[in-house]
Structure 1
Amino acid sequence: MEKFPIIETERLILSQLEEKDVPFIVEYLQHRIYSDLTSNIPYPYTENDAISWLKMSKEAFDNHSGYTFGIRNKEGHIIGAIGLHDREDDKAELGYWIGMAYWNKGYVTEAAKAIVDFGFKKMEFHKIFATHFLHNPASGRIMEKIGMEQEAILKHEIKKDGEYFDIVRYSIFKD
């Protein structure tokens, strides 16, 4: 795919991250809860973190190894992000976050359904999986709402800030 796709849902526009998004990303991810609930968001979250993440996201697209979409409202304002990253063997990993003001409104579920559809239909993945920390069951509920099923609990799978964490792995298959 030469041009980054734009996906529209009923309430959202999913499109490539842009430099103008950086201040909003930094503002959203300033809350320690994002670091506590994810394996790869640092605390404190800095402008350099956001710039590096945008660069990494663009490189993944250029290398055909991943798509990181900004989750935007219909006015085009970023409210979160969602990504699908090729893990080879016809499978991809789904990941997401959304600004706290937008929690519990169904936005991530709506975006994730569209991204899974994109992954199966456009990218022709056979399997899409996602993980969450045991202490973040809300993320698991999103995974279930989009049709994923729990595959396993991986013991001490993630080391973060010197501590080992168990994660739950969910997956969905094409067809």
Structure 2
Amino acid sequence: MQLEAIVNQPVIETERFDLRPVRRSDMGMIEMYASDPRVAKATSSIPHPLPPGSVEAYITRAMSADREEDVWVMDGTRAESSEVMGVISLTRLDRNQSEVGYWVAPAFWNTHLASDAVQALVDANPLGNDALFASVFHDNPASAKVLTNAGFVYLGDAETYCLARDAAVPTWTYSRKL
């Protein structure tokens, strides 16, 4: 039996869900959602098809004491919803800044879950950042709206390589001073 690592990361409570550190028991649900091509193609880092062991490796990295990315699961059990509705993360950058990344399971699209999660993370500012950054693909304007609703400001266009699409994809980049 493998014991759960204790991750030094706060739980962020909202009315609808908790943002809590990822745990090994999330593996099945994360794998189910991450293997959906609609989810994978909306992120830069999820390959499609999903290779065996990739979610386990992701969770192991997220639970590591020397991680560069703090990962929270959008957990709706307190509000009698799904235990895993999506994932949101902060990847540490230099100069006390982080990059926000998130995805939401298709069953919870168009429910303002991403907006609420990003706003909760901004309000909590668990890493004490001075600024946050995020980028979204041009063909995902709903994610751009999530960021602008949370006070992010458009910085410019760029390109990011998307594993699931096996291509460089145009992005909009946003920032938020805290």
TM-score relative to the length of structure 2: 0.87
1:66 maps to what in 2?
69
Provide Cα deviations, 1:126-151, integer angstroms capped at 9, x if missing partner: 11010011111111110011111111
Runs of 4+ in 1 over 6 A off after TM superposition: none
Find the aligned partners of 1:69 and 1:159 in 2 and give their Cα distance: 22
Match of 1:152, SS? strand
Structure 1 pair 87/40, CA: closer, same or farther in 2 (3 Å)? Answer: same
- CA–CA distance in 2 between the matches of 1:130 and 1:3? 23
State how far apart, in whole Å, the 2-side matches of 1:47 and 1:110 are: 31
Q: 2 CA distance for matches of 1:63 and 1:102?
A: 32
Alignment of 1:159-174 (within 5 A): 160=163, 161-174=165-178
CA RMSD of aligned residues (A): 1.8
The equivalent residue for 1:124 is 128
AA paired with 2:111? K
Structure number with greater CO (CA < 8 Å, separation at least 6) is 2
2: CA distance, partners of 1:157 / 1:150: 16
Q: Output the CA distance in 1 between the equivalents of 2:37 and 2:162.
A: 17
Q: Partners in 1 of 2:74 and 2:24 — Cα distance?
A: 14
Task: Classify the secondary structure of the residue corresponding to 1:83.
Answer: strand
- Does 1:42 find its partner at 2:36? no
Question: Any stretches of 5+ residues in structure 2 without a counterpart?
Answer: 1-6
As a proportion of its length, which structure holds more helix? Answer: 1
Go from structure 1 to structure 2 and tell me whether the alpha carbon gap of 1:125 and 1:134 turns closer, same or farther (over 3 Å shift). same
- 1:86 corresponds to: 92
Whether contact under 8 Å (1:22, 1:47) holds in the other structure is no
Instruction: Percent identity, please.
Output: 24
Q: Deviations over 1:106-157 (max 9, x none)?
A: 11111111111222xx422111010011111111110011111111101x44
Shift of 1:3: 2.9
- TM-score by length of structure 1 reads 0.88
| Cα distance in structure 2, aligned partners of 1:165 and 1:72 | 30
Partner letter of residue 34 of structure 2?
L
1:23 aligns with 2:25: no
Give the 3 Å change call, closer, same or farther, for CA 55–146 of structure 1 in structure 2. Answer: same
Write the letter of the residue equivalent to 2:172: V
